[in-house]
Chains A and B, each alone.
Chain A
Amino acid sequence: MMQLRRAIYQVFAIAKTDFLGVIRNKTAIFFTLLFPLFFIVIIGFTFGQSGAEETSRIIVGTVNLDGGITYVNGTASQNSTIGDAFVQALKANFTVYEYGEYGDKDTNGTAAYAISRGDIDVSVVIPANFTETLSFQYTDNLGIPVPTKAHLDLYVDPSDPTGSLITQQSVLGFISGFVKYYQDTAISYFPPDFQDYLRIFADPIMVSTSEADVAGRELRWIEYMVPGTLGLVLLWSGLNHASMAIAIERTRGTFQRMVVAPVSPTSVLIGKLISSLALVYLSAVILLVSGVLLFQVNLYWNIPVIILAVFLGALSAIGIGLIISSLAKNEEAANSIAIIISVPLQFFIGAFFPLSIMPEPAQIFGEALPFTKLVNAMQNTMTKNLPFETIIPEILYLTISGLILFLLGTIVYRISLRRL
């Protein structure tokens, strides 16, 4: 009984001292506790207000040459009716800056210059004969209209492939809508009996795309991302802290001083586990509470499931950290190894990008990580409000991997005691 009471004192003394070591160290506070807050603020300001369709954030630079002189059938023409209508329609959907010419990246005041500086996302160049072409003003010698297509030039920023793709899709979608309006207007000049046929020729397949209702309500992007960030918390707070836990004590000499006291290595291990878990939960609470307070994140709060899943995920993270901490020669080495492991891992757990956009080997690797299972489980629980039964496979995976990794960590820790 006495020994049990002493072991409890020891465990909590070790856990408290370890915890104080973080909250009294500015660098550790930043990386363990403030970094999640910093991260959620970045995510919040980036995605916090974004809904499914937010094209007004896209900045389009227009170069409308349609009012310029163009020669139609040998005669100068300056008609800009459709070009102007096109720009007005753009303004209703996007933020539009107007330029006199496309130019080049070194000439200030041109659209090319603005793209190269990131002032606009895309440039649309409307040719001088835009109205003349679309209103069939080109004719042959007999005065019969010559079918001529109008030509728009779109320029996007190649240095931002993902952003460019989104911008390009948005502008092409807008152009498709504008073309549809033009077709309907043109078809209305034909005899009524032909109009339906012409509409089908012009637009034979109709596609309607809608967002499936997965959450029972409309969600913002940040509300999809916050559950994923819990996986990152495990890497930042769990893995990184645990990797330092034993190594830093050994470097300081305090580990040896604990071992010469009547303290069993198991008490040291449990004390470190408790402090690491406390840091993981504290980081998770900071992340979630700041999401709610700063960005009004609205999720389904199944607290027992969140606590359970984070605990099981933390076992894996702490197990890996324990292996690093026991093998590393000193705290600097442990820190370096932890960074080398945790930084790349965070891109494979589905917190930043969906795994589906990655190459197949990366997907296989990512799916094998317990942290990915935690992200999936949390997205299903907090975003989609799915019942616990649906995340049982993830919970089982987290349990097995957590136990295996923590057991491995314990074995390596025990072996490392031989080199005191």
Chain B
Amino acid sequence: MSVARGELFGLLGPNGAGKSTLTKMISGLINPTSGTIKVGGYNIRDDPMKAKELLGVVPQDIVLYDYMNARENLAFFGRLYGLSGRKLKNRIDDLLGFTQLDEKAVKRLVSTYSGGMKRRVNIAAALLHEPQVMLLDEPTAGLDPQNKHALWGIIQTLQKNGKTIVLTTHMMDEAEELCSRVAIMDKGRIIALGSPRKLIRKVKMENTITVVPDKISPKLMGTVKEISGVKGSYSAYDENEKTETLKVITENPDDILPDVVSAIAKDGAKILSVQLSRVTLEDVFILLTGRSLREEE
């Protein structure tokens, strides 16, 4: 697997797939049992310091000293990369602009910041030494939709500024929205690699029928699977809508939609909404592994 300069690359997979382990190996936290990892041409094992100079790692959790303010935190992480004096001060000033913290907030201890403020300082701490390559481990985990979209904007800006970004995520929408290429991982192996569009086309499916009935029984799931033309089906819980949805993957949604509606009616359930949508990376994962990403969490 290789990531080109300036690329925004996604490592996709459920929890336990091996994304974090791979990230830890790339960043030099753990040694690979086999194989070679090179960052900007430097082998992380043979020349770790050179490789680490090129890397900016944003951990999944907020890793800051909460008894220091934003400026003090940035100064600390800057010094770890050998920055000092005017150069360090200028970089901190630039990045404080990036964090959108006002003068008062900059002087307050990090422990008083909101989640979004901490998240921005957490990213800024990895940018001080102007790394060529950034590793972002689940950067939007735990963020509300508003902050999540704001962070997507920041990540896209970083890429436009020439950074090579490796993003780990288990959120398909995030990977589809941001990444030019993704590697889908499962149980420590890459099971698919390519652009999201290419991966979707590769499985030769374009559509998904999403139905929201008032109830989904195991019997209904069995009946739907038996319908001719159904490539796959699963139920998923929509956290935002608080509803159980039935997803049916097919090449011909128009042909099988009446059968799906009929099966639901026969099962005694009421249909609340029906939606036809294109296949997502999540659907690709299900077809490749036979499991839902969310089942793994």
Contact = CB atoms under 8 A, between A and B. Distances in A.
Do chains A and B interact in one complex? Answer: yes
Interface of A: 2-3, 5-6, 9-10, 12-13, 16-17, 20-21, 24-25, 252-254, 256-264, 420
Contacts of B63: 252-254, 256-257
A16 B48 CA distance: 25
A3 to B, nearest CB: 8
Nearest to B135: A260
5 contacts: A9-B82, A24-B67, A24-B68, A252-B65, A260-B29
A17 B76 contact: yes
A172 to B, nearest CB: 58
Nearest to A6: B82
A17 B68 contact: yes
A256 B30 CA distance: 10
Contacts of A259: 28-29
Given A253-B63, A259-B28, A260-B29, 17 more contacts: A6-B81, A9-B82, A12-B79, A13-B75, A13-B76, A17-B68, A21-B67, A24-B109, A253-B59, A254-B65, A257-B63, A259-B29, A260-B27, A260-B52, A261-B52, A261-B77, A262-B80
B28 A260 contact: yes
A261 B28 CA distance: 9
Contacts of A254: 63-65
Interface in B32-55: 48-50, 52-53, 55
A209 to B, nearest CB: 57
Contacts of A6: 81-82
Given A10-B79, A258-B80, A261-B80, A20 B29 contact: no
Contact of A2 (B76, B80, B82): B82
A9 B129 CA distance: 14
B61 interface: yes
B124 to A, nearest CB: 13
Interface majority SS (helix, strand, loop, mixed), chain B: mixed
Interface string B192-209: 000000000000000000
A372 to B, nearest CB: 35
Contact of A13 (B30, B64, B67, B79): B79
A25 B52 contact: no
A3 B50 CA distance: 11
A253 B61 contact: yes
A184 to B, nearest CB: 73
A13 to B, nearest CB: 4
A258 B57 CA distance: 10
A262 B53 contact: yes
Given A253-B59, A256-B59, A260-B52, A20 B67 contact: yes
Contacts of B77: 257, 261
Contact of A420 (B30, B53, B82): B30
Contacts of A17: 65, 68, 76
B187 to A, nearest CB: 22
Nearest to B64: A254
B24 interface: yes
A263 B80 contact: yes
B84 interface: yes
The 9 nearest A-B residue pairs measured at CB: A6-B82, A13-B79, A253-B63, A261-B80, A262-B52, A260-B27, A24-B67, A262-B49, A260-B57
A21 B28 contact: no
B67 A25 contact: yes
Nearest to B28: A260
A388 B23 CA distance: 56
Contacts of A9: 79-80, 82-84
B91 to A, nearest CB: 14
A101 to B, nearest CB: 63
A24 B55 CA distance: 31
A260 B65 contact: no
Nearest to A17: B76
A16 B78 CA distance: 14
A259 to B, nearest CB: 6
Interface in B123-169: 125
A17 B125 CA distance: 15
A255 B162 CA distance: 29
A10 B49 CA distance: 13
B142 to A, nearest CB: 15
Contacts of B82: 2, 5-6, 9-10, 262
Contacts of B80: 9-10, 13, 258, 261-263
Nearest to B53: A262
A2 B29 CA distance: 24
Contacts of B125: 257
A76 B204 CA distance: 127
A20 to B, nearest CB: 6
B49 A257 contact: no
A20 B66 CA distance: 11
Given A260-B55, A262-B81, A420 B29 contact: yes
A261 B77 CA distance: 9
A253 B77 CA distance: 13
A420 B20 CA distance: 12
A257 B59 contact: yes
A261 B27 CA distance: 9
